């Protein structure tokens, strides 16, 4: 298969767009699990793209180590949850656009590396609208702009149905990242799009990410 989903999907496959505002992490997590469970029972259900923000929260991947926390996990300022995605610790907060695609990869390409590169392509396309060049670093997952990591990606796939996804730093307060070694990478600074486009907003990026997602995965987004 080519590096993007078949253009035939655009006319035949719809993906529900769930635009939400600030949502507690545990609520969004349970929502994702319900959507995945429903699609395991009925694979014909439409795919879903959830776009939202979270209050401050730290999450650890399934096999993540606590050595990348710079605080005592039993005495913490914000929520901390160990979840089933891959990867190490990351931080979510307002001003960061989080995307949770619930896709049945049986209908796209059953290859996790392909899927990760597609998610990176979504971010690269979206930031390109603002004249920013999103780049990859070989051997790592995510998107960088001028050496600053602006997007982290962590996924879980079960029976080829995806959950979790990407987090794009649009205009967040980055201080929460100082309390961790983000994604276990100590030599790659975390940045935000606002460092390059000071007036940028989450709502603007929500729109551009949705357009880029539809183009990369070859789907028609419809409001849920």
Distance set, CA 195 to CA 66, 142, 172, 180, 190 (Å): 29, 18, 10, 21, 11
Where in the sequence numbering do the catalytic residues fall? 183
> What's the chain's length in residues?
224
Half-sphere CA count of 120, side-chain side, radius 13 A: 20
Query: Are 123 and 210 contacting, i.e. CB atoms less than 8 angstroms apart?
Result: no
H-type alpha helices, 19-159: 25-41, 112-128
With H, G, I as helix, E, B as strand and everything else as coil, classify residue 18. Answer: strand
């Amino acid at each position: 298969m080519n590096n993007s989903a078949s253009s035939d999907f655009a006319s035949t496959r719809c993906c529900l767009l769930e635009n939400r505002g600030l949502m507690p992490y545990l609520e969004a997590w349970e929502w994702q699990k319900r959507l995945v469970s429903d699609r395991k029972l009925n694979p014909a259900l439409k795919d879903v793209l959830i776009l939202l923000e979270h209050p401050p929260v730290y999450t650890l991947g399934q096999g993540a180590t606590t050595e990348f926390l710079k605080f005592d996990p039993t005495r913490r300022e914000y929520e901390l949850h160990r979840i089933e995605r891959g990867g190490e610790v990351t931080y979510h907060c307002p001003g960061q656009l989080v995307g949770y695609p619930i896709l049945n990869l049986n209908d796209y390409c059953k290859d996790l590396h392909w899927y990760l590169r597609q998610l990176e392509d979504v971010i690269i396309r979206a930031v390109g609208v603002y004249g920013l060049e999103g780049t990859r670093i070989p051997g790592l997952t995510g998107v960088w702009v001028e050496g600053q990591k602006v997007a982290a990606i962590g996924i879980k796939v079960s029976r080829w149905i995806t959950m979790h996804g990407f987090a794009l730093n649009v205009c967040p307060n980055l201080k929460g990242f100082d309390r961790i070694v983000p994604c276990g990478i100590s030599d790659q600074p975390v940045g935000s799009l606002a460092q390059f486009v000071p007036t940028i907003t989450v709502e603007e990026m929500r729109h551009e990410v949705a357009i880029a997602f539809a183009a990369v995965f070859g789907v028609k987004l419809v409001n849920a």
